[in-house]
Amino acid sequence: MKLKKYNRQKAIDYARKWALGRNPLYHDYENYGGDCTNFISQCLHAGEIPFDVNGRDVTQKWYWYSDQSRTPSWTSARPLKNYILNNNRELSQNYGIYAKPCQYEELELGDLVQKTVNGEITHTMMVTARVFDKNGQLIDYLVCQHSYDLLDFPLSQKDGILSFIKIVGYYDW
């Protein structure tokens, strides 16, 4: 199994294109608890990460073919985090996204931010830009999201407990 590259630019381009709208090729889950993770999964897939249909059970897979044929990790924040952080590690025999927790300063464009409220992961967003001061020091990130749609919104204005996920790539044969 080989670790392959995630196309961050394609993921960001998709995020910016669809942040304020819906791609008609996918179902909109806004009325079913929110569309944020569905949108982020679409962004990751646009970043050339293929569906993962090879896990032992549904918790170790990541795909969307239709509203009736999808995994919880495609549409829900906690299952996505569990899938990408617990299922696919460097020594894993699984196929699919490889990611790891990171610090705020380590975020790259195309990485993920998740929000936790009362101990529950409730939201997922994607880093789409960095903001620097006149001396070249990083002062903020901009994010795109669904479930109140935002395009290049300052991460510093998000409340709650935030966790950061670096998308390293994906495993493929």
Average pLDDT over residues 61-77: 95
Distance CA 134, CA 83 (A): 39
Token representation of residue 50 = 């293929």
pLDDT at 2: 85
pLDDT band at 92 (very low <50, low <70, confident <90, very high): low
Distance CA 135, CA 95 (A): 42
Q: What is the 3-state secondary structure (H, E, C) of 97-148?
A: EEEEEECHHHCCCCCEEEEEECCEEEEEEEEEEEEECCCCCEEEEEEEECCC
Distance CA 110, CA 13 (A): 10
Average pLDDT over residues 83-109: 82
pLDDT at 161: 96
pLDDT at 13: 99
pTM (whole model) above 0.85: yes
- Mean pLDDT across the chain: 93
pLDDT at 90 over 60: no
pLDDT at 89 over 90: no
Distance CA 163, CA 97 (A): 18
